[in-house]
Amino acid sequence: MSTLTRTTDKTISAPTDHQVIALVGWLVLCLSTSGTAVFVSTGDWYAQLQKPPWNPPAWIFGPVWTLLYIMMGVAAWLVWREGGWKTQTLPLALFLLQWLLNVLWTPLFFGAHRAGVAFADILMLWLALAATVVCFFRVSPRAGALLLPYLAWVSFASVLNLAIWRLNP
């Protein structure tokens, strides 16, 4: 009787303590992005803006961003696991660039009330994120796939940002 065995190029092993600490670090970094909202008070400014009819309800943003930040952290960790900063400098540097542009958007839009400047920021974010997705797919298809919902959401947010800016000159 023959036994069917399956071999893979890479074995999946349980994360080491060092890898678990790194995962927590990436998650904390990504989730800290939402901290900019703590320092920005929108007051009545956002409520009084003209918005397109397809503007989502306010309650949806918190859960969506929380899920996206978790997926971002796991994606960065998966890439980091493939050799760390020494081997994955470009993908991880692009990840940090898009992360920084993400961090800047909330203070620009909600804090400074600069929808046009925020739109320029989110376009740069989209470009940096698209480059990150490509690089992540090359290292880990799972990591690249984890960023696709984020890219879709940033695409939607870009169009929404533009619409709000155009409706409120």
CB atoms within 10 A of CB 30: 25
What pLDDT does 9 receive?
43
Tokens found for residue 59: 């309650």
Identity (one letter) of the amino acid at 158? Answer: S
What pLDDT does 33 receive?
84
Q: Is the pTM of this model over 0.75?
A: yes
Residues in the chain: 169
Identity (one letter) of the amino acid at 109? Answer: F
State the DSSP string of 105-136.
HHIIIIIS--HHHHHHHHHHHHHHHHHHHHHH
Q: What is the Cα–Cα distance from 153 to 147, expressed in whole angstroms?
A: 10
What pLDDT does 165 receive?
98
Residue range 123-157, pLDDT digits in tens: 999 999 999 999 999 999 999 999 999 999 999 99
Residue range 77-131, pLDDT digits in tens: 999 999 999 999 999 999 999 999 999 999 999 999 999 999 999 999 999 999 9
What pLDDT does 146 receive?
98
Alpha helices in the chain (DSSP H): 17-32, 45-48, 61-80, 84-87, 89-106, 115-139, 141-167
Which one-letter DSSP state was computed for residue 7? -
In the chain, the N- to C-terminal Cα span, in Å, equals 76
Q: Interior CA angle at 35 toward 89 and 69, to 5°?
A: 50
- Which residue ranges form the domains of the chain, and what is each CATH number? 63-169 (1.20.1260.100)
Q: What is the Cα–Cα distance from 26 to 73, expressed in whole angstroms?
A: 5
What pLDDT does 1 receive?
47
Residue range 6-60, pLDDT digits in tens: 334 455 566 788 899 999 999 999 999 887 766 776 678 888 999 999 999 989 9
The angle that helices 17-32 and 61-80 make with each other, rounded to 10 degrees, is: 140
Match 């009084």 to its residue by tokens.
48
